[in-house]
Structure 1
Amino acid sequence: MPSHRPRRAAKPSGQHRGGNRGGKRGFALQKRDAFRTSRLREAEVSPAPNGPDIGDESSEGEHDDQLESDQDIQSASEDETPSNSYATLLQSLNTVKEGGGPVRKKRKIADGGTARKHVSAAEGLPTDDQDLDAEAEEQISELNEDPEADEELEGGLAAEDDSEDDDSLLRDPFEKHYTALTEQELKNVAKQVDGKEWQTQASPLETDIRRTILSRKGEATTSSTVKSAKDLFLKHRLLESGSRLVASLSSEEKALAGSLSNYVDILSGCRTVKNAGKLRDLTCLHALNHVFKTRDRVLKNNAKLSAQSDAETLDVRDQGFTRPKVLIIVPTKQACVRFVESIVKLSEPEQQENKARFVDTFSLEDSDEWLDKPEDFRELFGGNHDEDFRIGLKFTRKTIKYFSGFYNSDIIFGSPLGLMRTITTGGGGKKDKKKAHDADFLSSIEVVIVDHANALQMQNWQHVEYVFSQLNLLPKDSHGCDFSRVRHWYLDGQAKYLRQTVVFADYLTPEINALASSHLHNMAGRVKLVPTYPGAMLSVSSLLPFTVHQTFLRIPSPHPLQDPDARFKFFATTVLPPLVRESRHQKGILLFAPSYADFVRLRNYLSTSPDATSLSYGSISEYTPVRDVMRARSHFLSARHALLLYSERAHHHFRYRLKGVRKIVFYGVPENPLFWPELISLLGLATANDPTTTQAGKPADVNLKRAVRALFSKWDALKLERIVGSDRVGRLLHDRAGDTFDFV
């Protein structure tokens, strides 16, 4: 049986209480108090004949089970509570039970258990609340299951050994970032940020990582490196797990941790399969530390407000409009599971509510059919790769609650698609589903973490941009907010200047850079990390038993908006005619399209242009049905189709091992540098009846049958660097001796 613990004395009615709460619970509480008082008086006069005993636990258990069931169903849309409702309830119960023993309660102690709180028969209070209406029952059940109220009453203040001396607070990056500037100073900083008055400083790390620090003009550019967990100013409950994590970090990861703890925006293109776990643990540690500091500050200020006298007037500014403070955007449900596992490992909670439901809904075992897929593919698509999800996590002193309503959550997880649907359908945890748009749960986000941004770009990057456009806007509803405790920069609409954004990607693209330029306004500055690339084309020689000529053709393109037309004109007039003329004698041409727009344009041209009618072709994109994919692959292998049009997103999602490839034409170099050697390795999948292959597995005519050609322009500098290497990209972009570059 769960242990019983006494409740503390009720706080004075009307005092301030933590959190952003509001709703109809005051009416429900008054109704229950009146009901219980009347039942108590009846019980004192004469017991109910033939009725259940006051202490009958079975009757109470059935009622509590029904309340909990209703609570679980409505967990995704919980209402907020008024600031003094819990204290009012305790005060009213204490008044009725004068001279009695302490009120006792039952607590849930294991996952999947039943959370119940009730008044015992020894206290003389009835247990049958069936006369309450459905709305009152739901509100009372939610109140009884609110562990935050217990956190305030029991611990009082989430007691820890954290240092509160002035010197420690002055050095804490959390305090410096959010409390150092006055209201007028922040307005001046906002004007400076809006005017893009930045200064840039290159600060390379000891490894092959180029670091660029962006700071406001006149501000010193600091690049601190973490040496121990003490440098992170962690809460006491995170110190042990944080120390273990810091001890396992590499030098570049410790430098990243220093920027992270100083609330600087981070744009990193150094994510890999090997370091993804450490980066995830590091960001989760920072997110937990931020949430715990925020919530503990609210609870401590609650105590100050409750202890103040009538003559005192404290101006406490410690909250936002809504409770959620951290937003974590990941591409799949399984990626969300990995983040949650990291949070649980670091926070070590005593209880986890709804964990079994979370595991059943979000986690799956890896598919055996993907064992032969590349490592990065298994890391992204392993387990549950559903792309439409969102979930809220709520923290108390000892508990993590999954599937909490968005307005009751501390951390929100979601995919861009799931968040976009939640915003546009008004499903941000509210019961009113008729509202067409609701982004208020994003109004007080202070830390945004975007992991595996390249995978998000392969889904739909417009959803990412839409979610960022809804961050830190003034809310349309109050949601029970106590405006007397809202920070001034929230009220002035300046929250975006203090929001920290962390973006991890395997490589940086123009879209990711544009997102940073448009939506990242952090006054603390920005750190950009880019690795030095040796060049993906160098790994080709180790994958094939023969030599492959790799030719790069530079396209004259005067303007980025004119680049698609210039590329298509060059392809139609220079590259395609030789392929059409030799199509009868040359089979197995793989035409790679880097974007779906290029794919559609090439497919339409090959289908309708008189210059290409003699060239038989097939096509595979990410939207091609499985039956059509099998047919196109079969016709290409049998040489019935001389050319196969293949999109980059199709290769990203499926990694087809295409057989019969003898020549590859890249309409544009791929964004993902891993795709370059993977596609060129298809040249080695020669079949036994291939007339161009010798018995030794080598092509009979290398120059004609096993060639690679790639088109590029100066606007492809970022992805071209990843293919040819950082040392060679400048020559390909600016060399005036010619537009053709051969590599063997």
Structure 2
Amino acid sequence: MSDTKEQYGPVAGVKRQKKSKFGRSELRSITRTSRRTGKHDNENEKNHEGLEEEDLEEESLEEENYEDDDHNDQKITIASKRANKKNNKMAYSALVTLLKSKHDIEEIKNSLKENNNLDDNSDDDDNSDDNSDDNSDDNSDEEEFVDAHEDILEEEDKIQDNIDYHNKFDSFNLHFNQEDEISKVINKYKSLPIKEKKLKLISKNEILIDNDNDNDDKYIKYRYGYPQICPRIIKDINTGSSLDQKLKYHNVKKKIQDKFTEFGDMNQLDIQLIESMFTYESINFQYSNNESIKSKYQDYYLLHAMNHLMKTRDRILNNNEKKTLYEKRIKEGNIDNNDNDNNDNNLEPEFRDQGYTRPKILILLPSRNFAYKVVNKLIKNLQMENVENKKKFKTQFFSESKINDRVYHSKPKDFEEYFDGNTSDLFVLGIKYTRKTLKLYSPLEQSDIIIASPIGLLKLYNKIESRNNNNNKNGKKNDKNDKNNEGMKNNFLSSIEICIIDKADGIMMQNWSNITDILKNYLNQIPKDFINIDFSRIRMWAINGENEYLTQLLCFDKYTTPEMISLIKNSKNILSGSTSYIPIESMSIIDSTNYKFYKMGLINKFERLKQLFMRFEFDEKNISNEPIKRFEFFKNVILPQIINKSSYKFGTLIYIPSYFDYLRIKKYLNDESSLSFVNIDEYSTNSKLTRNRALFKNKSNQATIMLYTERLHFYKRFDIKGVRNVIFYQLPSDPDFYQQVLEFIANEKLRIESEKSKLKVEAEAIKDDDDEEDEEDEEDDMDLNLCMVRSIYSKLDAMRFGPIVGGDNVGRLVHGESEITEFN
């Protein structure tokens, strides 16, 4: 942000500089006479303006080359350059004529579109988005004019904002704009002893899900807060029963209210989740396998984000006009600040309505495919007249590739969801919202919404910091009067008010430390350089570096983990608190698995697959000691059972969620055990994966045991052949993985039965052969009663085994006298 008017007002912002292609800089140096920035500034602008177009594109697996500086197939001649320049001059002349004729803004925008189309058609290739970017230098004046008119507040919105300003029930006002109240609550929190600076459970409610399955599925809503410093959080306020009543009570924008009516009837889960968003509670929502809520929750948080941006925009533009009017009155001499008898209208107004930079919404997603879906939902919900760079966005983020077209065996539904389309995890995308236009690929510091992958965001920051360090070493100083200053490029997250972490389970499989790194080191950090900032417009809690007490965190995931729960509970959202929505399904994973095996004809009253859950104890005062106690339990209890009690000496698979545990077990079996084993993990080469799986399947003496990591299962979903025993070193993060791993045993049983059926005729013909062959037949037989399934757990694993064994059995596993619980 430079100043208020550069965010929302007559000035559209920094002029965009485009990446020079082969030969273009030389041509421009001859034909262009206007002032241009130096080489270093041009590099700086390229850095933050299009991460996908340069650094991230070069490092991703896809070969997207439309921004490559070394294009040999796209030749640019002086003649074509002059032709383009002539077209630009013609378009600009047409614009001047329109202005002199007092045509409306729509005709001006149509003129710009025709200009872009003319330039696009002059090239042989179809990369029209890239070509339109090349013309932005010549069209920047016209674009600024259009932006200025689009950021003029309509009279209706101005009147509504004046009304909203005094609305005591407006959630936006309550959470961000009540400066005195916010300051009091923050000071109270800071004065609390450390032991009392913890969220308190305010309420626990059941939410029944209305669906067509006639089951008893429900959600438990856990409400947390700081009632000792913010008493209003525990007040039982009647906001109405219907969603329409609740949205009106919280003063949600009329346009947003109308969009919610398009969703039709909603159940209580939808209504309570939406209200939690609009009251700025930090939320951890676990959508599990609920397809109804799963299809709509992204629309909910996008509409909440747009309501926030609309209110922010209207407030800033309205205050811009008020400030301009006040300055005009001073200039005309209509206000005497030295007159003590002047009424309140003569007092200098104070408009604290923003942060340091324009971006207010950060959405973190694991892959481009998910980003593509979210942006398209945003476009659909807003129904904007214009969406800039839409074609370029589709080219870089969309792929028609389907996982089932690339693999022989069908994969689970959640696997298709994560790995269909463009799976690149390197991207950062800025989106700017104006009254009639949604601008994709806007410069980050001029954007309202930033959509990124955690690793893409960190790579961008690392590049910016590296360049800044190189500049410091070379004695180059940043010009504080230069709006393109590199020092501002790493401040675009300094004023985020809503942070959304979507598909958090996928990000967990990538690397959760990326999330903690972003939240701790980059989100809402006070800028190091204050460039062109009007401090009279910055909210005091932002100036004091207290953003963390107000930022809303929204975390959406298929399943929850202690890391995700901790993230929300430690978010310090002291005014609105936090809420967790945890599903309680009527059928546990074990019951679902047994039912599926029964339908497959694998189990009956005579044949069962016994599943033992074995608890180990640890010192609860020293939680960090839990992994050591788990390993000792595995070494002293489980391994002897594998050696001495297993009916099958081959085919034991050990499932290990943590990579660190995997390395520990692998080292122990290598150094201190005589057991033969193979191991496969997410870092194994394809040849190693194929070789070790084949050895395990063929009952090689070198592969009686297989070590198998959770992340490998997430990314590959192999059908491991030859499995007869399963050891869960720790229960899976995703409850569905429990069933998928046990299906290895079921599939092995089916394969053996199929082979036996095919050889039945031959077996009848040779049944009088020697005993040795009979023994081999017995060895190839498989009885589920003899298969071993063991799950190691501690009290800390309740979140993992709850969905697997069912809520009614959690207490028995945690507090039961017996350390072994059997399910079959």
3-state DSSP of counterpart to 1:440: coil
Q: Is the 8 A contact 1:203 1:213 kept in 2?
A: yes
3-state DSSP of counterpart to 2:366: coil
Q: Report 1:100-249 matches (<5 A).
A: 102=102, 107-109=108-110, 114=115, 141-146=139-144, 147-152=146-151, 159=157, 162=160, 164-165=162-163, 169-182=167-180, 184-191=183-190, 195-196=196-197, 198-207=199-208, 208-217=218-227, 218-221=231-234, 222=236, 226-228=242-244, 230-231=248-249, 233-245=251-263, 247-249=264-266
Query: What is aligned with 1:631?
Result: 691
Q: Is the 8 A contact 2:553 2:571 kept in 1?
A: no
Question: CA 1:113 to 1:471, structure 2 compared with 1: closer, same or farther past 3 Å?
Answer: farther
3-state DSSP of counterpart to 1:185: helix
Question: CA 1:433 to 1:584, structure 2 compared with 1: closer, same or farther past 3 Å?
Answer: farther
Alpha-carbon distance in structure 2 between the residues aligned to 1:144 and 1:582: 80
Matched, 1:549 2:610: yes
Shift of 1:268: 1.8
Matched, 1:400 2:438: yes
Alpha-carbon distance in structure 1 between the residues aligned to 2:509 and 2:680: 16
3-state DSSP of counterpart to 1:249: coil
Query: Equivalent of 1:670, from 732, 746, 754?
Result: 732
Q: Is the 8 A contact 2:207 2:220 kept in 1?
A: no
Decide which moves more: 349-358 or 195-204: 195-204
Query: What is aligned with 2:373?
Result: 338
Cα distance per residue 1:600-655 (max 9 Å; x no partner)? 1111222222xx32x32221111111111111111111111211111111111111
Q: Is the 8 A contact 1:393 1:400 kept in 2?
A: yes
Query: What is aligned with 1:134?
Result: none
Alpha-carbon distance in structure 1 between the residues aligned to 2:666 and 2:112: 55
Cα distance per residue 1:109-131 (max 9 Å; x no partner)? 599864599xxxxxxxxxxxxxx
Query: What is aligned with 2:56?
Result: none
Q: Report 1:573-612 matches (<5 A).
A: 573-580=636-643, 586-609=649-672, 612=673
Question: CA 1:185 to 1:707, structure 2 compared with 1: closer, same or farther past 3 Å?
Answer: same
Q: Report 1:674-689 matches (<5 A).
A: 674-686=736-748
3-state DSSP of counterpart to 1:471: coil
Matched, 1:702 2:811: no
Matched, 1:458 2:471: no
Q: Is the 8 A contact 1:211 1:527 kept in 2?
A: yes
Q: Residue type matched to 2:440 in 1?
A: Y
Alpha-carbon distance in structure 2 between the residues aligned to 1:18 and 1:301: 14
Matched, 1:725 2:806: yes
Query: What is aligned with 1:362?
Result: 397
Q: Is the 8 A contact 2:7 2:13 kept in 1?
A: no
Alpha-carbon distance in structure 2 between the residues aligned to 1:16 and 1:570: 62
Decide which moves more: 560-569 or 275-284: 560-569
Question: CA 1:198 to 1:461, structure 2 compared with 1: closer, same or farther past 3 Å?
Answer: closer
Question: Percent of aligned positions with the same letter in both sequences?
Answer: 27
Question: CA 1:728 to 1:438, structure 2 compared with 1: closer, same or farther past 3 Å?
Answer: farther
Query: What is aligned with 1:515?
Result: 567
Decide which moves more: 701-710 or 303-312: 701-710
Matched, 1:538 2:526: no
Question: CA 1:479 to 1:109, structure 2 compared with 1: closer, same or farther past 3 Å?
Answer: farther
Question: CA 1:522 to 1:433, structure 2 compared with 1: closer, same or farther past 3 Å?
Answer: farther
Q: Residue type matched to 2:406 in 1?
A: E
Query: What is aligned with 1:19?
Result: 7
Query: What is aligned with 2:125?
Result: none
Q: Is the 8 A contact 2:654 2:705 kept in 1?
A: yes
Shift of 1:273: 6.0
Question: CA 1:357 to 1:100, structure 2 compared with 1: closer, same or farther past 3 Å?
Answer: closer
Question: CA 1:77 to 1:549, structure 2 compared with 1: closer, same or farther past 3 Å?
Answer: closer
Cα distance per residue 1:2-24 (max 9 Å; x no partner)? xxxxxxxxxxxxx9725189999
Alpha-carbon distance in structure 2 between the residues aligned to 1:178 and 1:240: 24
Cα distance per residue 1:318-355 (max 9 Å; x no partner)? 11100000011111111111111111111111111111
Q: Is the 8 A contact 1:71 1:141 kept in 2?
A: no
Q: Is the 8 A contact 1:422 1:428 kept in 2?
A: no
Question: CA 1:191 to 1:617, structure 2 compared with 1: closer, same or farther past 3 Å?
Answer: same
Question: CA 1:140 to 1:454, structure 2 compared with 1: closer, same or farther past 3 Å?
Answer: same
Decide which moves more: 404-413 or 478-487: 478-487
3-state DSSP of counterpart to 1:441: coil
Q: Report 1:303-382 matches (<5 A).
A: 303-308=321-326, 309-310=329-330, 311=335, 313-367=348-402, 368-369=405-406, 372-382=410-420
Q: Residue type matched to 1:410 in 2?
A: D
Question: CA 1:632 to 1:201, structure 2 compared with 1: closer, same or farther past 3 Å?
Answer: same
Q: Is the 8 A contact 1:202 1:210 kept in 2?
A: no
Query: What is aligned with 1:250?
Result: 267
Q: Residue type matched to 1:305 in 2?
A: K
Question: CA 1:198 to 1:159, structure 2 compared with 1: closer, same or farther past 3 Å?
Answer: closer
Alpha-carbon distance in structure 2 between the residues aligned to 1:390 and 1:560: 38
Alpha-carbon distance in structure 2 between the residues aligned to 1:205 and 1:588: 43
3-state DSSP of counterpart to 1:339: helix
Q: Residue type matched to 1:369 in 2?
A: R
Alpha-carbon distance in structure 2 between the residues aligned to 1:258 and 1:273: 19
Query: What is aligned with 1:660?
Result: 722
Alpha-carbon distance in structure 2 between the residues aligned to 1:604 and 1:436: 47
Question: CA 1:411 to 1:488, structure 2 compared with 1: closer, same or farther past 3 Å?
Answer: same
3-state DSSP of counterpart to 1:205: strand
Question: CA 1:364 to 1:233, structure 2 compared with 1: closer, same or farther past 3 Å?
Answer: farther
Alpha-carbon distance in structure 2 between the residues aligned to 1:623 and 1:657: 18
Decide which moves more: 373-382 or 698-707: 698-707
Shift of 1:451: 1.0
Shift of 1:219: 3.1
Q: Residue type matched to 1:270 in 2?
A: Y
Q: Report 1:436-447 matches (<5 A).
A: 439-447=490-498
**Size of the alignment, in residue pairs?**
654
Question: CA 1:251 to 1:451, structure 2 compared with 1: closer, same or farther past 3 Å?
Answer: same
Question: CA 1:333 to 1:166, structure 2 compared with 1: closer, same or farther past 3 Å?
Answer: closer
Question: CA 1:441 to 1:139, structure 2 compared with 1: closer, same or farther past 3 Å?
Answer: same
Greater fraction helix: 2
Q: Considering only aligned residues, what root-mean-square deviation do their CA atoms show, in Å?
A: 4.1
Cα distance per residue 1:558-615 (max 9 Å; x no partner)? 2421122211112122221343457896211111111111111111222222xx32x3
Q: Is the 8 A contact 2:372 2:397 kept in 1?
A: yes
Shift of 1:261: 0.7
Q: Residue type matched to 1:234 in 2?
A: V
Question: CA 1:413 to 1:198, structure 2 compared with 1: closer, same or farther past 3 Å?
Answer: same
Shift of 1:543: 2.6
Alpha-carbon distance in structure 2 between the residues aligned to 1:109 and 1:429: 40
3-state DSSP of counterpart to 1:592: strand
Query: What is the TM-score with the length of structure 2 in the denominator?
Result: 0.72
Question: CA 1:567 to 1:542, structure 2 compared with 1: closer, same or farther past 3 Å?
Answer: same
Q: Is the 8 A contact 2:589 2:805 kept in 1?
A: yes
